[in-house]
Amino acid sequence: MQILNQIFTPCAFPQIRSSLYQTLAFSRTRLGLSTKRRWIAGGSLLFVDSRNKLCHWGKKEKMAVVSAVGEGNLGAGVQKKRKVIEHICLVKAKEDLSEEQENDMLDYLYTTQYQMRGIIAISLGRLSENPEQYTHAIYMRFQTEEDLAKFYENPFYMRVLEKHVNPYCHGFVNFDYESEVEDDILAIFRKGEEFNHGVELVLLLQFNGSSLDGPTEDAMASLANLTMEFPSLIVQATKGPNVNTSNSEYTHGVVIRFRSSEAFKMFMSSSEYNTIWKSKFEPIVQKALSLHFSVDPVGKELM
């Protein structure tokens, strides 16, 4: 069973001082709060207690909420959903790629959204180190599979690949999956201040063929429920089955946008995530690829 270690490797975190944290002194014994891990994100104080449980302290509510697997979905509500198609392109750039060439490649890929119809959201960046040696990732969202099919055949996109991608790389792979998002214009198009920065996590999974019904659905639903419990850490998360018939290496995909690198590290090293991974995913996953990249505010060079 090939499971990448970085998916559940503990991370070290920075310490952030906060006057708000001092107000937690009275409940430190009862909740077992750790004084070593605490952050401010999304208007809430985030911390990890002595049991390595993710917790958040809302300024308005003046109360600590401790999350635990199996205790229900704190952020769940009845919301209308909209189906979308998520597209992921992983690139292996040449070792001698210059900064100018890298910028040229990423700029042209980013600006495809302005030159052709169908792309409703996009992010891209340089990947962290990974065993597969992918160097860059491009994430795009489409409303329908028909829009995605037209994208692949679009002459403008083909010219971008020919002139601004292929000369700088020695390989790339595409993966597409169907998912759902809130039926809200900001959520669908990934617009607003909270989408302008953060960390994008891409998780590609190959489940055992015998587990593709109940166990796989249960594992993916458990991860989705966990991501919804922490809006202070996560802006949006999508997951779904592969719809790319030309790439059967992975059966499912997940994309999670975190609010910051600290939020990403905090979630990935939490006991909740590791418990779900080891109990729900590890027994039925044949292969997994976990990649992430930083999303910076868009500058003039990309417009």
- pLDDT of residue 127 exceeding 60: yes
**Could you tell me the pTM of the whole model?**
0.76
- pLDDT of residue 74 exceeding 90: no
The vertex-43 CA angle with 254 and 293, nearest 5°, equals: 30
| Under 8 Å between Cβ of 90 and 137 | yes
The domain segmentation of the chain, as residue ranges, is: 13-66, 82-297
In the prediction, which pLDDT does 297 show?
66
| Under 8 Å between Cβ of 139 and 86 | yes
For domain 82-297, which CATH number applies: 3.40.20.10, 1.10.580.10, 3.40.640.10, 3.30.70.100?
3.30.70.100
Looking at this protein, which amino acid is placed at residue 133?
Q
- pLDDT of residue 259 exceeding 70: yes
Q: Express as a percent the part of the chain with pLDDT over 90.
A: 68
- pLDDT of residue 261 exceeding 60: yes
- pLDDT of residue 96 exceeding 90: yes
296: confidence class by pLDDT, cuts 50, 70, 90: confident
45: confidence class by pLDDT, cuts 50, 70, 90: low
Strand partners, 138: 89, 124
- pLDDT of residue 7 exceeding 50: no
In the prediction, which pLDDT does 210 show?
83
Where do runs of H (alpha helix) occur along the chain? 28-31, 99-110, 112-115, 145-153, 155-160, 185-189, 214-228, 261-268, 271-276
Q: What is the C-alpha separation between 64 and 45, in angstroms, rounded?
A: 9
| Under 8 Å between Cβ of 257 and 195 | yes
